[in-house]
Amino acid sequence: MGQGILLSESADIDFMVHGVFPYSFFGHQVWITTTHICVLIVMLIIIGFCFAANRAVKHASEVPGTFQNIVELVVEMLDNMIGNVMGKFSPKFRNYIGTIFIFILLSNISGLFGLRPPTADYGVTLPLGVMTFVLIHFNKFKHQKVKGVIAGLCDPWPFWAPINIIGDVAVPISLSLRLFANVLSGTVMMALIYGLLSKIAIIWPAALHVYFDLFSGAIQTYVFCMLTMTYITDACTTDG
Amino acid sequence: MEFNTNFILGCSAIGAGLAVIAGIGPGVGQGIAAGHAAAAVGRNPGAKSDVTSTMLLGQAVAETTGLYGLLIAMLLLFVKPLV
């Protein structure tokens, strides 16, 4: 890197995804990248938390201890958030929304701990968007039936259908690109600061970490889940 | 050949700079949203938390177009599709 960007040669600016080791997959050379490893670390943390939470809830006491309190707080907060938006559809989607909320939140703030955030790779956010897309359309067909879906496509007039299809396809792309670009911009900004201003980057980058990793990451997680919930509720509502 | 590659790289850098001009729109939009939110809180201070969360949600969605410009700039600078 460095020949495409107007920076000094000595600056080591590094925010790209790197390959760690290659392997052969049906004759194609595929790379295990840093993203895989970061996703794995985040997943291990979540799984460890889940086991601990499971044990804490199984041995739940009348007066909750510290850890049980935290678990109850997290579950209650997610339940409230999902119940407020989805109303009567919330029990069915609580698991999915809660899972992606915790995963995206931990991925976004993993930049604080020196990992490259997994969500700064389009290969991670696009599947999240595609999962939302599949859920939206599965529920649309389930609740509105084929007739309702066709009626929705030909909403103002029948020849408007291509525009509506483009609008439907744009949903997962814009969802995933929003999350990806936000986290990527934070990563690039921090890499530029540490690379170019390495001599004077002593304590003040902490404030930028709080903004780019914690604040922006939390907001984007909230936005992603909120939009997913809104779209799914929209698809489930039959009288629309 | 060498000249052509360097020329394309230079033009890519100019294009990347032009692409991030897209940041003007979200800046104006977020400012308008924040201004109206401030007015709303002034009128009804009790609804401060609701207004703030709605404002942040709207701002984050409005930011998307600026981020598309940033993405184009990133692609031009690092992926170099034209070289």
B67: nearest CB among A3, A181, A227: A181
Q: What is the average pLDDT across A168-188? A: 91
pLDDT of residue A1: 43
A181: nearest CB among B9, B13, B71: B71
Residue A214 touches chain B, beta carbons under 8 Å: no
Contacts of A186 (CB under 8 A, 6+ apart): A111, A117, A120, A212, A213, A216, A217
B9: nearest CB among A4, A16, A223: A4
Contacts of A4 in chain B (CB under 8 A): 9, 12, 77-78, 80
Task: Select from B53, B47, B68 the least CA-distant residue to A223.
Answer: B53
Whether the per-residue pLDDT at B7 is higher than 50: the answer is yes
Residue-wise pLDDT tens digits, A87-126 = 888 888 899 999 999 999 999 999 888 888 999 888 899 9
What pTM does this model have?
0.85
Helix pair angle (B64-74, B2-19), 10° resolution? 170
| CA atoms of A37 and A101, how far apart (whole Å) | 20
B70: nearest CB among A5, A181, A220: A181
Contacts of B71 in chain A (CB under 8 A): 177, 181, 184
Residue A191 touches chain B, beta carbons under 8 Å: no
Contacts of A177 in chain B (CB under 8 A): 64, 67-68, 71
Contacts of A3 in chain B (CB under 8 A): 9
Residue contact A219–B60, C-beta within 8 A: yes
Tokens of B30: 């977020």
Chains A, B: CB contacts within 8 A come to 46
Give whole-number Cα distances, B42 to B32, B34, B38, B47, B54, in Å. 15, 12, 6, 10, 16
Residue A184 touches chain B, beta carbons under 8 Å: yes
Residue-wise pLDDT tens digits, B22-80 = 999 999 999 999 999 999 999 999 988 889 888 988 888 888 889 999 999 988 988 88
Domain spans of chain B? 2-79
Mutate to test the interface with B, among A17, A77, A185 (most CBs of B within 10 A): A185
| CA atoms of A179 and A186, how far apart (whole Å) | 11
Confidence of residue A228 (pLDDT cuts 50, 70, 90): very high
Residue A103 · residue A41 · CB < 8 Å: no
SS (H, E, C) chain A: CCCCCCCCCCCCCCCCCCEEEEEEECCEEEEEEHHHHHHHHHHHHHHHHHHHHHHHHHCCCCCCCHHHHHHHHHHHHHHHHHHHHHHHHHHHHHHHHHHHHHHHHHHHHHHHHCCCCHHHCHHHHHHHHHHHHHHHHHHHHHHHHHHHHHHHHCCCCHHHHHHHHHHHHHHHHHHHHHHHHHHHHHHHHHHHHHHHCCCCCCCCHHHHHHHHHHHHHHHHHHHHHHHHHHHHHHHHCCCC
- Percent of chain A scoring above 90 in pLDDT: 30
Tokens of A150: 């066709």
| CA atoms of A165 and A163, how far apart (whole Å) | 5
Measure in Å the smallest separation between the Cα of B6 and chain A Cα atoms.
Answer: 9
ipTM above 0.90, yes or no: no
Instruction: Tell me which fold the domain B2-79 belongs to.
Output: F1FO ATP Synthase (1.20.20)
Residue-wise pLDDT tens digits, A47-90 = 999 999 898 888 877 787 888 888 889 999 999 999 988 888 88
B57: nearest CB among A3, A188, A223: A223
Interface of B with A (CB under 8 A): 9, 12-13, 56-57, 60-61, 63-64, 67-68, 70-71, 74, 77-78, 80
Q: What is the average pLDDT across B6-16? A: 90
